[in-house]
A and B are shown apart, each in its own frame.
Chain A
């Protein structure tokens, strides 16, 4: 292994990092919102709402993401006249939107299950207690269900974010010049596969370590009640009062 070459490779590959981050970030954000909607549908208790959500989750969890990307990009590309008529061709024309759509739908399917599990894990007694105190459904959700579910679901959700970061590498197959695409391009120019893939792997690993740390930090911030009490909180409170 040649350190100078590795260094240069690392810098070249970093050029793809903004796109990788943009894809992962947008996919997690859009997919997260969709996941909330899907989980709400699943938990609504109405078959009319929960059945489509269940079917969606089944299809997107049951097929490889790579197949979904190809299907959306090349498969739907075959129906240009129809999509043009509907006025949505501009969206499917762009490789970026296609990749984002596939990633977001995919993560939504997985994340909706995490959200559902987290909401179901909220102890029933707490909800009952809230009801007994006279809280309405909105207040109950905001004050009791949401905070507890968030803490419950966070570790699993951090895994989902990590797998989204990893999944952006698949966007390389539809001409998006993110880190993996640049790695492959560099290999076909320099023919040094192993060194370049090691560099690319290191970039993803670092990124994922940062993501995991950030979530752990958030978890820490969200669960003050599980920490040892600070030394003199009472006197500080008193000073303010």
Chain B
């Protein structure tokens, strides 16, 4: 018995020394992970501090939930395993609500919904892609959507397209572009942006909001959105807050707070500030 007690004490000392925190379930403090490399959703400023739409949103949501929040940066490819490993309690990282992710984690209601598509050099090989003003909803397959995708595949033959690993965009590329374009997977969108600029890839496939934010930078003069825009289907049901399956109270708290922000227009104001367009989910 004494042995167990000693071990327990030693462990407590180790935990205290490591600054470890055991989370209680009253949600007075919430740790939120973001990527910090996905402007304008979340990114790092020169002062090394996180900024962006989701950082502002998290602050506002936490105020409404009466909780103290800490937003931390976490690499995208480990963001779900680390949530499950208890590194933090929620994910706000431009993560779309998809069925595949729903199998392992839970989501609040969505707080943005926006279109996705290709970005490339306007004077380059992908500058003259067809269907530039077409917006396709992939949740139902129509003859029109099939024709658009077929035209896109033909135009992308032999080209190299960059996507971020394990995103809805990678899923889209895998499902609709495989066999036509060569797909290169990057750890962050910033890295595929750099390779687009270096000419290692011909185009990127990402969310239109993040592409717009990238192409605003002076280095990217002459780059822009090309080809058709897509929503629905593999792109899921918009961006939401991810939480562990075992924390339904936390999920409901986030959903209630988002609903309140939608109702009084603060979500729209925030969206206009960071995205320049209204990305709030309709209905």
Partner of A187, one of B81, B185, B197: B81
- Say yes or no: A185-B81 contact (C-beta < 8 A), given A74-B191, A77-B194, A93-B199: no
Asked whether B104 lies within 8 Å of A191 as measured between CB atoms, the reply is yes
Chain B residues near A185 (CB, 8 Å)?
77, 165-166, 185
Asked whether A93 lies within 8 Å of B78 as measured between CB atoms, the reply is no
Asked whether A184 lies within 8 Å of B165 as measured between CB atoms, the reply is yes
Closest residue on chain A to residue B166 by CB atoms:
A188
Answer yes or no: A80 CB below 8 A from chain B CBs. Answer: yes
Asked whether B198 lies within 8 Å of A80 as measured between CB atoms, the reply is yes
Bound-state CA distance A143–B91 (Å) is: 66
Answer yes or no: A175 CB below 8 A from chain B CBs. Answer: yes
Closest residue on chain A to residue B199 by CB atoms:
A80
Chain B residues near A213 (CB, 8 Å)?
none
Answer yes or no: A131 CB below 8 A from chain B CBs. Answer: no
Chain A residues near B80 (CB, 8 Å)?
188, 191
Asked whether A191 lies within 8 Å of B84 as measured between CB atoms, the reply is yes
Bound-state CA distance A188–B218 (Å) is: 33
> Interface majority SS on A: helix, strand, loop or mixed?
helix
Answer yes or no: B28 CB below 8 A from chain A CBs. Answer: no
Asked whether B185 lies within 8 Å of A77 as measured between CB atoms, the reply is no
Bound-state CA distance A9–B88 (Å) is: 27
Asked whether A175 lies within 8 Å of B166 as measured between CB atoms, the reply is no
Bound-state CA distance A66–B188 (Å) is: 16
Partner of A173, one of B81, B187, B197, B198: B187
Chain B 165-190, CB-CB to A under 8 Å as 1, else 0, gives 11000000000000000001111000
Partner of B78, one of A77, A95, A175, A188: A188
Chain A 158-202, CB-CB to B under 8 Å as 1, else 0, gives 000000000000000101010000001101110111000000000
Answer yes or no: B195 CB below 8 A from chain A CBs. Answer: yes
Interface bracket on A:
10 to 19
Partner of A93, one of B84, B104, B165, B200: B200
- Say yes or no: A193-B186 contact (C-beta < 8 A), given A74-B194, A93-B199: no
Answer yes or no: A46 CB below 8 A from chain B CBs. Answer: no
Chain A residues near B22 (CB, 8 Å)?
none
Asked whether B78 lies within 8 Å of A193 as measured between CB atoms, the reply is yes
Answer yes or no: A63 CB below 8 A from chain B CBs. Answer: no
Answer yes or no: A78 CB below 8 A from chain B CBs. Answer: yes
Asked whether B198 lies within 8 Å of A77 as measured between CB atoms, the reply is yes
Chain A 72-115, CB-CB to B under 8 Å as 1, else 0, gives 00100110100000000000010100000000000000000000
Give the shortest distance, in Å, between A87 (CB) and chain B (any CB).
15
Bound-state CA distance A74–B200 (Å) is: 10
Answer yes or no: B85 CB below 8 A from chain A CBs. Answer: yes
Closest residue on chain B to residue A190 by CB atoms:
B104
Chain B residues near A175 (CB, 8 Å)?
184-186
Give the shortest distance, in Å, between B190 (CB) and chain A (any CB).
10
Give the shortest distance, in Å, between B119 (CB) and chain A (any CB).
17
Give the shortest distance, in Å, between A37 (CB) and chain B (any CB).
30
Chain A residues near B194 (CB, 8 Å)?
74, 77
12-50 of chain B: CB within 8 A of chain A: none
Chain A residues near B76 (CB, 8 Å)?
188
Asked whether A184 lies within 8 Å of B77 as measured between CB atoms, the reply is yes
Chain A residues near B166 (CB, 8 Å)?
185, 188-189
Closest residue on chain B to residue A172 by CB atoms:
B187
- Say yes or no: A78-B198 contact (C-beta < 8 A), given A188-B165, A189-B166, A191-B104: yes
Chain A residues near B185 (CB, 8 Å)?
175, 177, 185
Chain A residues near B187 (CB, 8 Å)?
173
Asked whether B81 lies within 8 Å of A193 as measured between CB atoms, the reply is yes
Bound-state CA distance A173–B195 (Å) is: 13
Bound-state CA distance A192–B166 (Å) is: 14
Closest residue on chain A to residue B195 by CB atoms:
A77
Bound-state CA distance A197–B100 (Å) is: 21
Closest residue on chain B to residue A79 by CB atoms:
B198
Bound-state CA distance A6–B198 (Å) is: 39
Chain A residues near B195 (CB, 8 Å)?
77
Give the shortest distance, in Å, between B216 (CB) and chain A (any CB).
19
Chain B residues near A80 (CB, 8 Å)?
198-199
Residues of chain A at the chain B interface (Cβ within 8 Å)? 74, 77-78, 80, 93, 95, 173, 175, 177, 184-185, 187-189, 191-193
- 26 of the cross-chain contacts (CB-CB < 8 Å) are A74-B198, A77-B195, A77-B198, A78-B198, A80-B198, A80-B199, A93-B199, A95-B200, A175-B186, A184-B77, A184-B78, A184-B165, A187-B77, A187-B78, A188-B77, A188-B78, A188-B80, A188-B166, A189-B100, A189-B166, A191-B80, A191-B84, A191-B104, A192-B81, A193-B78, A193-B85
What 4 pairs across the A-B complex have the smallest Cβ distances? A188-B166, A77-B198, A193-B81, A188-B77
Given A74-B191, A188-B76, A188-B165, list of 9 further CB < 8 A pairs?
A74-B194, A93-B198, A184-B165, A185-B165, A187-B78, A188-B77, A188-B78, A191-B81, A193-B85
